[in-house]
Amino acid sequence: MKSCGIIGGMSWESSAEYYKLINEQINRKLGGLHSAKIILYSVDFQEIAEYQKNNLWEKSAEVLSNAAKSLEKAGADFVMIATNTMHKVADKVKSSISIPLLDIRDSLIEEIKAKNLKNVLLLGTKFTMEDSFYVDYLKKRGVDVVVPESQDREIIHKVIFDELCLGITKDSSKKEFLKIIEKYDTEGVILGCTEIGMLISQKDTSKTILDTTKIHCNFAVKIMCQC
């Protein structure tokens, strides 16, 4: 089994889900008392959130690159950034190490194409929904992405940072998200923030839900089991 290096803590709520999902899948595949070989480097999200808010992406790239180097030194065979937003600095993190970086966007694109979805709605932080690093990355690879209107983006962003990153789930917020999901005419919905799966799941809508946390973990397990 290969060792998975996770850069987490952004937020720790979704990082805990990464740890749980990967271990559950490894045990299902291998049985017995098998668990996943995981090396977790958990950063302080307050520091990263401040860099995001103040557009200091070079600073956050430095923090994540140092984390990736530490994971490589600790014996990780590959690295994952357990958040969508911080893939804005994925290229810089990737260039700082000699082991592979499993990009959440690549695993998502493969899943979208496997499901033959014609168009998808992107939900995430404002950085993910508005910046080119995510939307353009998907579009250049043939994915038709729909971004919510400004007012909807504000609602989504606020719920993520004020509630989900703190482990808070509210029925009122779930209703707002579902209203937004049904507002746009798409076949699929990208849960493009690793915390949104705490609030929305496939049972909530007839549209195909693309939970990036689960998708990212699925692809990590495939790599880990390529012995």
Q: Indicate which residues carry an active-site annotation.
A: 83, 193
The span from the CA of 103 to the CA of 85, in Å, is: 12
* Contact yes or no for 33/6 (Cβ under 8 A): no
Burial of 163 by CB count in 10 Å (0-12 exposed, 13-18 middle, 19+ buried)? Answer: middle
Which amino acid type is present at position 101? L
Q: For residue 196, give the DSSP letter.
A: G
Strand partners, 87: none
The span from the CA of 98 to the CA of 11, in Å, is: 26
H or E element, residue 40: strand 38-42
Peptide bond into 132 cis (omega under 30): no
* β-pairing verdict for 120-123 and 208-211: unpaired
* Contact yes or no for 37/3 (Cβ under 8 A): yes
The span from the CA of 200 to the CA of 162, in Å, is: 16
